[in-house]
Structure 1
Amino acid sequence: MNNLNNRLEALTPTVLSLVRIVFGFLFTLFGTSNLFDWPIVMGVPTGSWPGWYAGLIEFVGGLLIMTGLFTRIAAFLCSGAMAVAYFWQHQPLALWPIVDPQYGGNGGLPSIAFCFVFFLLVFTGGGRYSLDAWRSRTPQP
């Protein structure tokens, strides 16, 4: 069992980077939907509060998180944005964050998932395969 733990421990930085990339990419897609109506048409008018500005945070923050550039700061802001989104937009509709409001939920599950994954990234950073890690390497003589 100790051997398995050692192997999994060795993979932790790689898996952390993979989770960061996947969640950053998905978050960016929410932003592009709000800002550019792609890949899904959201129909958010340019400059409208709060949808367009949320899309801007999702797009820019998602790109920063996906690439691992300024990961901790971007993740902090995006986590907060998702907490606000949940309590402003989803929680007033119903108590349970089930994805489909048709079944008595509030559709807030993605907001909660993004909020807590990004909150984790605030403390762990971008991982081994991030621009932050690349920037912090000291040149070897």
Structure 2
Amino acid sequence: MDEAIRSPQIMVVDDDQDTVAILAHHLQREGFVPITANSGAQCLKLVHENEVDVILLDLMMPDMDGFQVVKALKDSPETAEIPIIMITARDDMDARAEGMRLGVSDFLAKPVFRRQLASRIRAQLEVVETSRSASAAMDRLEAARKNRSQ
């Protein structure tokens, strides 16, 4: 599919089925394609099978908490650049500080409102696009510099 017309794919990771369903519904209403996972392990599997643009990640999950998932994602070159928005009922400064240290891009406290969610996702997509554009521009400048020096 043409990258320019592909709807952004947003992964929702939460052990609570109702939360996953609500967030997936919000995403669809905003024109995003939801990909859902009910655990950290399932997230780590699905992220390698899909083209994920942003991950919405619950902090408090059994077996593997959100911080462990972030660490695993950031440790892998294939997933390190995917923006992660932590969505949690635990909205305290220690959790935010630890998340930012690990590489979380943004935080949203539960309950999440559709328009707020959409604007935060779009902001992360813009950051990624700006970074890609800047990287491409730097590559072109470097190529031009090399051509001139030859």
**Class of the TM-score when normalised by the shorter of the 2 chains:** under 0.3
TM-score normalised by structure 1 residue count: 0.27
Whose relative contact order is higher, 1 or 2, with alpha carbons under 8 Å and at least 6 apart?
A: 1
Q: When you count strand as a share of all residues, which structure comes out higher?
A: 2
* TM-score normalised by length of structure 2: 0.26
